[in-house]
Amino acid sequence: MKKNKFAKLLLLSLVSGILLAVPYIFPHCGIIALIAFLPLLAADHIAKEDKTRHFWICYYSAFLVWNIIATWWIWYATPAGAVAAIILNALQMAIIFRLFRTRFISGKGGLFPYVALAVMWCAWEYNYQNWQVTWPWLNLGNSFAQSIKHIQWYEFTGSTAGSLWILIINGLVFKALLHLSEGRKAYGYAVGAILLFAIPSTYSHLRYSQIGKQLPSSQKEVVILQPNIDPYTDKFSGLSQRQQDSILLRLAQYNVTDSTFLVVAPETFFNPSSTAGNIVENNPANKTLDTIRSFASDHGTNFLFGAVTCKFYPPSYEKPTVTARQSGQQWYDLFNTAVFVDQENKVNFYHKSKLVIMAETIPYINGKSVFSSLGLDLGGGFGNFGKQEFRTVFRSKDNIKIGTAVCYESVFSNFFREYILEGANLMTVITNDGWWKNTSGHIQHLHYASLRAIETRRDIARSANTGISAIINRRGDIIQPTPWWNECAIRGLVTPDDHLTCFVRHGDLAGKCCTLLFILEIVFMVIASLAGLVTRILRRR
């Protein structure tokens, strides 16, 4: 009998895991997230009443299933990295749920436990983005990345508030259903859930249509290139850099017009086979760079592309940075770089700063890696790259300021807004999603750019090596998406805009508030535990 009950609880938990994954796999299913926690909360309620042992297996399984279904595609790039990412991310989610199940929180009546769960979860999501080892791909607010008409209000709050919204609605609906099952009135909870969904969603639909009518008038033509060079067989070994240059410049030549303001090419387009062939930032001279500079000059356009670049430091016996490498008496760093060639042939660099763990950066403890056996390769190049602590915004001759998020950086909302704070009135994303093959991974990554466009109200020109390349307008619409795994280019219009949204000006207020409340919750839990311990000791005496 006990085994049957446990199986029932496990089944309910697994249903939640499946429902949580649905919005990441299927378009226009964000609304499913608003009820995805219900089976897990029902299992939790039953487990507490029956005092079920080992219930942690059930809720950990729910989060494990969610991570597996939504991000299994990491396996194509690195099996070990996929196992690590899925297991550890699910574990952190389970820890938050375990805190929710403590007597201090779950023992309270009303809606308090579910609000507390939402607060703890969002505090974790917010802070997780800044940890040395981070994987915020499945932040709950991202569930609506393919349902953008419901979340235009992210321009005020950012996506962390979306996570808060989802969890509180789940709690309200669960309390309403629980009261109904017990023959009690559920009017307040039901009305609360309906209003909490309807008011932001209705505003969002109205705002969506309003933005479509109020686009600024000054537009710029961009050409986005998709060379479609296989990262497994051609990009880093099969084709020479000269052959890759030929593919890219042919696409550019066929599509650039006299009106083209900017040409955008993908991440790590230039990746030398040896250090000797690098673009050296101290003295930028290189065949690929020279060819692109010549093209930009001949066509009177700006050119943006990804490259692995090198920067040398003055001779020194001491290592100048954690990631520096030594060549004789000189130290140098390699970077995953966005290279900008302007209309006047000047070259500027931005170094990717949100680096992919194990593929592009190695977490250090006393200078030694503790994760060297794991290779979490999610795109870009290879090696322990350097990074920069501030965002660089490129400036064109006519004072258009261009921010460039390199691959993984477009997943981080607070990080992305820093480009706008530095003055960017137009955004680009350059990436190489071919590592994940034709799975949901590259589609999820594409739609995360829609979230960033809404939060910042900036048009985005997105160039992906193997697709999907597109223009994302400031209300999150994906315009002119290219076919997956096709050599092609698109030409379209983008609109620079200097308006600062509430989210850009003030940051992730929901994440900050939840962090403060989470700290208070932990303090009260510790105090309550100590008070209970003291009481028990006094009673024994």
Q: Which residues, 6 or more positions from 359, have their beta carbon under 8 angstroms from its beta carbon?
A: 77, 78, 375, 376, 377, 378, 379, 380, 381, 382
Helix axes 159-181, 38-50, angle to 10 degrees: 50
Helix axis angle for 440-456 and 56-71, nearest 10°, is: 90
Strand pairing class (426-431; 460-464): parallel
Whole-number Å distance between alpha carbons of 352 and 412: 13
Output the 3-class SS for 105-123. HHCCCCCHHHHHHHHHHHH
- Alpha-carbon distance of 38 to 172, in angstroms, equals 10
Q: How many residues appear in the chain?
A: 541
Within 390-505, strands assigned E span: 393-395, 401-406, 426-431, 460-464, 470-472, 478-479, 488-494
Cis? peptide before 468, omega within 30° of 0: yes
Bridge partners (DSSP) of residue 305 are 339
- Mean pLDDT (10-residue bins), the chain, 541 residues: 82 97 97 98 91 90 98 89 92 95 82 95 95 90 97 97 98 96 91 97 96 74 97 87 94 96 96 74 87 94 95 84 82 93 93 82 52 41 77 94 96 96 97 93 97 98 96 97 96 95 96 95 84 76 66
The CB-side HSE value for 271 (13 A sphere, CA atoms) comes to: 19
The rounded distance, in Å, linking the Cα atoms of 393 and 401 is 6
CA-derived radius of gyration, the chain: 25
CA 403, 354, 450, 456 torsion-angle sign? negative
Q: Is 346 helix (H, G, I), strand (E, B) or coil?
A: coil
Start-to-end Cα distance in the chain: 42
Tokens coding 260: 């083209």
Distance CA 513, CA 518 (A): 8
The pLDDT of residue 323 = 82
The reported pLDDT for the residue numbered 488 is 96
Instruction: Please answer whether residues 525 and 106 qualify as being in contact, where contact means their C-beta atoms are separated by less than 8 angstroms.
Output: no
User: For 354-501, where are the alpha helices, taking DSSP H only?
Assistant: 413-421, 440-456
Spatial contact of 391 and 412, defined as CB atoms under 8 Å apart = no
Q: Tell me if 218 sits within 8 A of 259, measured CB to CB.
A: no
Token reading at 332:
């140098």
**Which amino acid, one-letter code, is at 319?**
K
For residue 365, what are the β-bridge partners?
A: 368
Distance CA 20, CA 35 (A): 9
Q: Regarding beta strands 347-351 and 364-365, do their DSSP bridges make them parallel or antiparallel, or are they unpaired?
A: unpaired
Is 3.30.1550.10 the CATH number for 220-504?
no
Please state whether beta strands 220-226 and 260-264 pair in parallel, antiparallel, or not at all (unpaired): parallel
Q: What is the DSSP string of 207-245?
A: HHHHHHH---S--EEEEEEE----TTTIIIIIS-HHHHH
pTM of the full predicted structure? 0.92
Domain chopping of the chain, boundaries: 2-213+509-540, 220-504
Distance CA 454, CA 302 (A): 26
Amino acid at 424: A
> Mapped to the 3 state alphabet, what secondary structure does 57-80 carry?
HHHHHHHHHHHHHHHCCHHHHCHH
